[in-house]
Amino acid sequence: DVKVTQSSRYLVKRTGEKVFLECVQDMDHENMFWYRQDPGLGLRLIYFSYDVKMKEKGDIPEGYSVSREKKERFSLILESASTNQTSMYLCASRSRGTDTQYFGPGTRLTVL
């Protein structure tokens, strides 16, 4: 079974803090994704990576950065958290040449 794990299920941070969200997958997938999910807006792609050290902007990259130093790990970074970044963050991975994305359990981030 594919397993995608995220470092925290719930996180509370203060405005201006630097926040790291970690995602690890154990299936040697090349592609990894970060989404945020908000009521009425659905899942929106923040960044994705198709290989180590490679990254591409998704639809809403502003205020975020990412790091992919190892194949199994994809980190999402909020340089200076703001209240409008309060959301559910979902990581996903996919093997190159296949179609299905496998999602992690999500991190519910609250920025006060």
Partner 1 sequence: GQNIDQPTEMTATEGAIVQINCTYQTSGFNGLFWYQQHAGEAPTFLSYNVLDGLEEKGRFSSFLSRSKGYSYLLLKELQMKDSASYLCAVRPLSNQKVTFGTGTKLQVIP
Binding-site size, partner 1 (CB under 8 A): 22
The DSSP bridge partners found for residue 12 are 110
Report the residue from 76, 90, 109, 111 that binds partner 1 according to the rule CB under 8 A.
90
Question: Three-state secondary structure along 32-86?
Answer: EEEEEEECCCEEEEEEEECCCCCCEECCCCCCCEEEEEECCEEEEEECCCCHHHC
Give the interface segment with partner 1, choosing from 13-21, 61-69, 71-79, 98-106 (CB under 8 A).
Answer: 98-106
The interface mask with partner 1, positions 32-71, x = CB under 8 A, is ---x----xxxxxx--x-x-------xx------------
User: Which residues, including other chains, have CB under 8 Å from residue 52's CB and lie 6 or more apart?
Assistant: 68, 69, 70, 71
* 104 near partner 1, judged by CB under 8 A: yes
* 93 near partner 1, judged by CB under 8 A: no
